[in-house]
Amino acid sequence: MPRTTVQVVQHLRPGGIETLVLELQRHAARDHAVHVVSLEGRAETALQAWPRLRPVADRLHFLDKPAGLQPRCVLVLAALLRRLGATAVHTHHVGPLLYGGLAARLAGVRSLVHTEHDAWHLADPRRRRLQSAVLRLVRPQLVADAQLVRARAERALPGRSFEVIANGIDTQRFRPGNRAAARRQLGLPEAVRLVGCAARLEAVKDHATLLEALAALPAGVHLALAGDGSLADELQRRADALGLAERVHFLGNLEEMPTFYRALDLFCLASRQEGLPLSPLEAQACGIPCVLTDVGGCREALCPTSGRLVPPGDPAALADALARLLARPSTRTPRAFVLEHGDLTQMTRAYERLYAA
């Protein structure tokens, strides 16, 4: 029997949750139609900013929700769910849970799944009270994307039980390749040691600490940054002030991310907060070792034999870990770790089991 799942997200801009939702759509079973609803934004703006959306534009829906609480959006979304014949709704984060959860119940949708991708926002008493109230009202099946996220969410929301479904990536798309060819394609220097980071240029990703760490490394070590955000200009000024203008390569949003990872010697994520990030899984699937800050689910996303964890906000520790791995690269590829612990097929089938429950 055909099934229709509707994924509900806050917005459709390049990011980990949004990428994951698109992958769930792309890898769904043949008899399983998956639509994506973005509470915020308009189709034309999103499609222009993120070309990856264009091939699936007919299965994307934008509510263009204004800021603040908008009860009418619940009614609009409920009508959309009925029109699509939704058999399951899957929400991501508290805003989509509020609107998507209420709309699913109004529309009589049988299966409602909600995923917590991090738990730091539940430290805010107002958010915690709101989420508790919505959970009591809509009663979704609860999922966390990492063991640590589950533990924190269950502490913040007593009486709630979360199943863990780890994030996964497409290990056929993200696989090792030719480093020199990748650097030529991206216009990156070939005769340097290259550290890379793929993340939104926002404060939570703490690129500032990564720049400070780079300044402590030899001049032959460069940094490539994939991603865009509100801090782009500030970070470029910071790189200039640290004397790193020639060593930091701002690449913006990239469509061919496997090429980016293949160009690297090391991948680094200096975040202050995370759930279970996709970018380290993608990098490791391409055979690139990682240095990550020990926050959120990063420990669960890291191959323990080839990578290193460091405290957040510590440029000296970060520089030391990068220097050590650059000087003595691991002889073990982290790809095997991702094949076992972070494969997209495993994640997709686990969610489809919940949709059908």
Q: How confident is the model at residue 331 (pLDDT cuts 50, 70, 90)?
A: confident
Least confident of 96-100, 177-181, 294-298: 294-298
Query: Tens digits of per-residue pLDDT, 148-163?
Result: 999 999 999 999 999 9
Which position has the higher pLDDT, 9 or 122? 9
Q: Helix, strand, or coil here: 127?
A: helix
Query: Tens digits of per-residue pLDDT, 4-41?
Result: 999 999 999 988 899 999 999 998 888 899 999 999 99
Q: Helix, strand, or coil here: 115?
A: strand
Q: Of 350, 176, 317, whose CA–CA distance to 258 is shortest?
A: 176
Q: How confident is the model at residue 330 (pLDDT cuts 50, 70, 90)?
A: confident
CA distance 296 to 293: 9
pLDDT attached to residue 59:
96
**Tokens representing 304?**
């323990």
Q: How confident is the model at residue 229 (pLDDT cuts 50, 70, 90)?
A: very high
pLDDT at 2 over 90: no
Q: Helix, strand, or coil here: 318?
A: helix
Assessment of whether the complete model's pTM goes beyond 0.75: yes
Query: Tens digits of per-residue pLDDT, 304-318?
Result: 999 999 999 999 999
Which phi and psi (to 5°) does residue 204 adopt?
A: -65, -25
| Mean pLDDT rounded to a whole number for the chain | 95
pLDDT attached to residue 20:
93
Q: How confident is the model at residue 100 (pLDDT cuts 50, 70, 90)?
A: very high
CA distance 50 to 275: 23
Q: Helix, strand, or coil here: 37?
A: strand
The separation between the first and the last C-alpha atoms of the chain, rounded to the nearest angstrom, is: 14
pLDDT attached to residue 1:
62
Q: Of 16, 10, 14, whose CA–CA distance to 36 is shortest?
A: 10
pLDDT attached to residue 206:
98
Residues ≥6 apart with Cβ < 8 Å to 86: 4, 5, 6, 35, 104, 107, 109
Handedness of CA 323, 329, 335, 340 (dihedral sign): negative
pLDDT at 81 over 90: yes
Which phi and psi (to 5°) does residue 7 adopt?
A: -90, 135
pLDDT attached to residue 124:
87
pLDDT at 342 over 70: yes
Average pLDDT over residues 226-240: 96
CA distance 278 to 17: 9
Enumerate the H helices of 41-109 as residue ranges. 43-49, 71-84, 94-106
Are the C-beta atoms of residues 276 and 149 closer than 8 Å to each other? yes
Are the C-beta atoms of residues 36 and 7 closer than 8 Å to each other? yes
Specify the DSSP class assigned to residue 64. Answer: -
Residues ≥6 apart with Cβ < 8 Å to 306: 284, 289, 290, 330, 332, 333, 334, 337
Average pLDDT over residues 187-215: 97
Average pLDDT over residues 156-177: 95
**Tokens representing 96?**
């989509």
